Amino acid sequence: MIYFDNAATTRVIPEAAQTVFKYLTEKYYNPSAMYHEALDVKNDLENARSVILNQIGGEGKLYFTSGGTESDNLAFFGTKKKRNSRVIISAVEHAAVYQSAMNLKQAGFDVCVAPVDGSGKIDIEAFSALLNADTSFVSVIHVSNETGAVNDIGELARLTKRVAPRALFHSDGVQAGGKIKIDLKSIPVDLYSLSAHKIGAPKGTGALYAAKGVHLNPVIVGGGQEEGVRSSTENTAGIMAFATAFSAAALHIDESAENLRALSAYLRKRLGAFDDVMVISPEDGSPYILSFASASVRGEVIEHALEREGVLVGTGSACSSNKSTRRIPEALNLQGKYASGMVRLSFSRFSSMAEAEEFADKYEKVYKELKRHVG
Amino acid sequence: MSVEYNCILIRFGEIFLKGHNKKYFEDLLINNIKSALKPLKYTFLRSQGRYYIEDAADNSSEIVSRLTRVFGIHSVSPAVKVKTDEEELFKAAVAMSPMSGKFRVTVKRADKRLPFTSAEMAGKIGGALLKASLGKLKVDLYDFDFELNVDIRDNGFSYLFYDKIPGAGGLPVGCSGNGMLLLSGGIDSPVAGYLIAKRGVRINAVHFHSFPYTSELALQKVKDLAAKLARYTGGVKLFVVPFTDIQYAIHEKCPESFMITIMRRFMMRIAERLARREECGAIITGESLGQVASQTMQSMMVTNSVVSLPVYRPLIGFDKEEIIDISKKIDAFDISIRPYEDCCTVFLPKNPVIRPRIAEAVEYEKNLDVDALIDAAVENTVEEFITSK
């Protein structure tokens, strides 16, 4: 089987699975307890925190959460914002950010959506035009989960601060963490969301980075864990595995990117052979994601036909049968039949050229067959 | 006023009317009740035109809820069973009654040997309640807030109850034979199946699957709908027919505007083939007159003309809203609106023909090897027995 849906989730790497086992069966103590064993776990937890903070070059704090979605929610709802002030997001945000922004809109905030280009990258000029002194919060995805387009969040944050010095800049880094290098202390990004299960750790763990001086009010209250910002007994097994997987990914970050760039370039060429297939992902984007659209066959149908050949791919959130998911194709300005023809390939650092070749052959076979019937 | 209901009383409706077939209907009903209550533990008793469930322990509310889905049951009542003894009756009546408001007591006495009339006993029990309420209860035989029913049976026991929970009505499933339901995944077809099952028909269902144009999720949706139906029918034999090749063939060889018409003619033919094999007396569809292009009078005539079995369309005169109400009642609605494509929405023509003629359809089908296509589809049909979850 070929699994090219790693942006949805990844297989847990053996080291991370072993870590989970260890923290479930040996070091299972509640880190808030008073005895030595618990303190030991507490120290491990703090170690994991600094490991991840170091990898993202952060100088502020890192709060563990239940995943990317909770991190995004905490960034939106745990920060102070002037009443009815302006909030800006991009047009291809993940649903966790988009729905959070829609909640703020209902509460009276002036929520603006900055357009993106055909590859999913934010239009900097249009973004700048939306910035005003009344802007209190900006959220722009770092790496688009739909197309792999990489936004220059450093530049966007600087632009924001220039116009609205007190505005907070958040970025959803779920598809970036462990995959592209980042140094948060060198850019004025205030909040950054991470998820564990996109890089070989289990589902159920994530983190929100908050730069120095950024205050967060809790969304979940209780026993006061995570400095009171996120109560609930820490998911130690998940957090430790998160750090394990993150370190492993970071260790191979350049080498993995290089391999995947070659793989992605190869697939671009193979897909380019069809005149009704349009590659959406930009060449300078994350090599972990390659999206394309067909003008002849719906994305969902391609997905199921490939499934029969033992190839698992995604349609992103742009599945045509659900009307609420028109948001992304529209944002990408996909015209005509391309709008329902989107397919997303997403790789892990273990994806190989041999798999890419097998994929391309199978795709060619399946696609020709499907096209015969839709004329 | 706390009391333990230790018994459930079951009344059946229409099957009384069925003259000397009564035993057949009753045996079927009892069989269906028992199968609906599997694997719960209880004791089943029958006596003089009623059934009783006893020794149900903690399962009472689950049993009541399952019984209200068995066709043929008119109503059920959780009841208190006591020895027919004045003191016992008073004690139970007081324990289970509210202690203020207007009430009446209605006594039915099957045991005519007892030394009192029904009215006398009602008066005595009413008196006991009045006394116990310290004057807060008032008797009113006509304008009452609650009515305590007391059935005095001839086996030395009496049953006291308040609620009459309406049952599903209808006839016991199986008494009217078997039917083959076209089950799509939409709102209408499960409702059609429910209504026909209510008249005693055992439901088989056929679903047309167009992988890769429809997904496994769409198939799961159909299975979940069948499971909801199975709560009423005791189970649904589901036939999943691979339909993609037939759609390909029609798409290639017939005019686009006839796509749906000819597709539906194939569905009817396949349904009839399976129906005859499964000894079904009718095909059942969820069609409602004029709802879509394929459900006009002319379209239905053209699709109906390929089969000789009767086609039951219980929703033919229903508005969508009325169908949705029943869909919600049988808990199918939330499943039906899951957003997956079904085989009728793929290859959907832009302008489907609204008034097709049989002769045209016959003419276009000459381009197809109809029998071979049907043989292949039936041969690759997958059968699964779906039970309620």
For residues B153 and B213, state if they share a domain.
no
Same-domain check for residues A152 and A271 = no
Measured distance between the N- and C-terminal CA atoms of chain A, rounded to whole angstroms: 29
CA distances in angstroms from A165 to A105, A157, A159, A190, B158, listed in the order given: 22, 10, 9, 12, 82
* pLDDT score, position B156: 87
d(C-alpha A192, C-alpha A68), whole Å:
10
B365 has a pLDDT exceeding 90: yes
Residue B341 and residue B213 in contact, taking contact as beta carbons nearer than 8 Å = yes
Decide if B51 is inside a domain: yes
Please tell me whether residues B227 and B364 are part of one structural domain.
yes
Q: A297, A298, A304, A308: which to substitute to probe chain B, counting the most B Cβ within 10 Å?
A: A304
Q: Cβ–Cβ of A321/B340 closer than 8 Å?
A: yes
> How much is the pLDDT for B98?
87
Please indicate, yes or no, whether residues B238 and B149 belong to a single structural domain of this protein. no
CATH number for the domain spanning B103: value is 3.30.2130.30
Contact in structure between A224 and A231 (CB atoms under 8 Å): yes
CB hemisphere CA count around B161 (13 angstroms): 21
Contact A322 B212 (CB under 8 A): no
The pLDDT value given to residue A2: 97
Confidence of residue B100 (pLDDT cuts 50, 70, 90): confident
**Do A338 and A301 reside in the same domain of the chain?**
yes
Specify the 3-state DSSP secondary structure of A226: helix
Expressed as residue numbers, the domain containing B112 is 7-166
**Minimum-distance CB partner of A305 among B212, B251, B252:** B212
CB contact under 8 A, B339 and A323: yes
Interval B154-166: pLDDT, tens: 888 899 998 889 9
**Domain end point (choices B131, B166, B201):** B166
Domain boundary among A220, A250, A280: A250
Interface of B with A in 280-339 (CB under 8 A): 339
CATH value at residue B196: 3.40.50.620
> Of A216, A231, A250, which marks where a domain is finished?
A250
Q: List the structure tokens of B316.
A: 């033919």
Pair B160, B216 in one domain:
no
B213 in contact with A, Cβ within 8 Å: yes
Q: For the sheet containing A86-90, what is the strand order?
A: A61-65, A206-210, A191-195, A168-172, A135-139, A86-90, A110-114
Model pLDDT, residue B18 = 64
What is the torsion angle, in degrees rounded to the nearest 10, for the CA atoms of residue A154, residue A156, residue A157 and residue A163? 140
> Cβ–Cβ of B339/A308 closer than 8 Å?
no
Say yes or no: A165 and A204 in one domain.
yes
Contact A321 B339 (CB under 8 A): yes
Query: B123 vs B1, B108, B118, B160, B340, CA distance in Å?
Result: 20, 13, 9, 15, 62
Taking the CA of residue B253 and the nearest CA in chain A, the distance in Å comes to 11
Torsion of CA A264, A265, A267, A272, to 10 degrees: 140
CATH of the domain at A338: 3.90.1150.10
Bridge partners, B312 (sequence order): B284
| Inter-chain CB proximity A322 and B339 less than 8 Å | yes
Mind listing the pLDDT tens digit for each residue in B266-290?
999 999 999 999 999 999 999 999 8
pLDDT of residue A319: 45
Count CB-CB contacts under 10 A for residue A117: 16
How many domains does chain A contain in total? 2
User: Is B173 inside a domain boundary?
Assistant: no
Closest Cβ opposite residue A301 in set B213, B248, B340: B213
Cα distance from A317 to chain B (closest Cα, Å)? Answer: 13
Query: Which residues touch A340 (CB under 8 Å, ≥6 apart)?
Result: A298, A299, A300, A318, A320, A329
Q: Is residue B270 part of a domain?
A: yes
B contact residues 236-275, partner A, Cβ 8 Å cutoff: 248, 251-252
Q: Are residues A128 and A260 in the same domain?
A: no
Structure tokens at B102: 């207007």
Beta bridge partners of A150: A143
pLDDT tens, N- to C-terminus, chain A (375 residues): 999 999 999 999 999 999 999 999 999 999 999 999 999 999 999 999 999 999 999 999 999 999 999 999 999 999 999 999 999 999 999 999 999 999 999 999 999 999 999 999 999 999 999 999 999 999 999 999 999 999 999 999 999 999 999 999 999 999 999 999 999 999 999 999 999 999 999 999 999 999 999 999 999 999 999 999 999 999 999 999 999 999 999 999 999 999 999 999 999 999 999 999 999 999 999 999 999 999 999 898 999 999 999 999 998 664 444 555 688 889 999 988 888 899 999 999 999 999 999 999 999 999 999 988 764
Cβ contacts of B211 on chain A, cutoff 8 Å: 304, 308
On whether residue B34 sits in a domain, the answer given is: yes
Report d(CA B386, CA B220) in Å as an integer. 11
**Is the pLDDT reported for residue B1 higher than 70?**
no
Q: Please give the interface size between A and B, counted as residue pairs whose CB atoms are below 8 Å apart.
A: 27
Residues A204 and A229 in one domain: yes
Same domain assignment for residues A34 and A83: yes
Separation between Cα atoms, residue A35 and residue A326, nearest integer Å: 54
Q: How confident is the model at residue B32 (pLDDT cuts 50, 70, 90)?
A: very high
CA distance A356 to A222: 48
Whether A216 is in a domain gets the answer yes
> How far off is chain A from B210, nearest CA to CA, in Å?
10
> Which residues in chain B have their CB less than 8 angstroms from residue A373's CB?
248, 251-252
Q: Could you say which of B166, B201, B220 is where a domain stops? A: B166
Domain C-terminal end among B121, B136, B166: B166
List residues of chain A with CB under 8 Å from any CB of chain B. 300-305, 307-308, 321-323, 370, 373, 375
Helix, strand, coil percent content, chain B, rounded in steps of 5: 40, 20, 35
B252 contacts A304? CB cut-off 8 A: no
Chain A residues closer than 8 Å to B346 by CB: 301
Angle formed at CA B102 by CA B100 and CA B105, multiple of 5 degrees: 105
Full domain range(s) for residue A218 = 14-250
Report phi then psi at A144, rounded to 5.
-65, 125
Any domain includes A103: yes
Q: Are A219 and A265 found together in one domain?
A: no
Nearest CA distance, A374 vs chain B (angstrom):
8
Flag whether A175 is in a domain.
yes
Q: Does residue B113 share a domain with residue B214?
A: no
**Is B279 within the bounds of a domain?**
yes
A287 lies in the same domain as A239: no
Closest CB to A300: pick one of B215, B248, B252: B215
Nearest CA in chain B to A306: B212
Nearest 5°: the CA angle A176, A182, A184 is 115
- pLDDT for the residue B46: 85
pLDDT-based confidence at residue B344 (cuts at 50, 70, 90): low
Q: How many Å apart are CA B317 and CA B290, to the nearest integer? A: 10
SS (H, E, C) A257-324: HHHHHHHHHHHHHHHHCCCCEEECCCCCCCCCEEEEEECCCCHHHHHHHHHHCCEEEEECECCCCCHH
The CATH number linked to A207 is 3.40.640.10
For the record, the structure tokens of A271 come out as: 């897909």
What pLDDT, in 10s, does the model give residues B199-240? 999 999 999 999 888 888 889 999 999 999 999 999 999 999
Which is the catalytic residue, given A39, A220, A248, A319? A319
**Position A305 in a domain:** yes
Same domain, B147 and B186: no
Higher pLDDT among residues A268 and B20, named by residue: A268
Beta-carbon contacts of A101 under 8 Å, excluding residues fewer than 6 positions away, are: A76, A87, A89, A93, A111, A139
Q: Are residues B182 and B292 in the same domain?
A: yes
- Select the residue of A304, A305, A373 nearest B248 (Cβ to Cβ): A373
Determine whether A178 is exposed, middle or buried from the number of CB atoms within 10 Å of its CB (0-12, 13-18, 19+): buried
Residues 6+ apart with CB under 8 A from A155: A124
Hey, are the CB atoms on B341 and A321 less than 8 Å from each other? Answer: yes
Q: Look at residues A250, A266, A283 and tell me which one is the last residue of a structural domain.
A: A250
Residues of A in contact with B251 (CB under 8 A): 373, 375
Predicted local distance difference test score (pLDDT) of residue B15 = 60
Indicate whether A80 and A187 sit together in one domain.
yes
B218 and B94 housed in the same domain:
no
A112 in active site = no
Distance CA B80, CA B9 (A): 10
B152 and B108 in a common domain: yes
Residue A375 falls inside a structural domain: no
Lookup result for tokens 């009452």: B144
Residues B126 and B215 in one domain: no
Mean pLDDT across the stretch B298-327?
Answer: 96
Structural domain count, chain B: 2
Query: Do A209 and A266 sit in the same domain of this protein?
Result: no
Judge if B193 and B51 occupy the same domain: no
Q: Answer yes or no: do B161 and B187 share one domain.
A: no
Q: What phi and psi, each to the nearest 5 degrees, are found at residue B161?
A: -155, 155
For residues A214 and A291, state if they share a domain. Answer: no
- Say if residue A87 is in the same domain as residue A185: yes
* pLDDT over 70, % of chain B: 96
Cβ-contact B15, B25 below 8 angstroms: yes
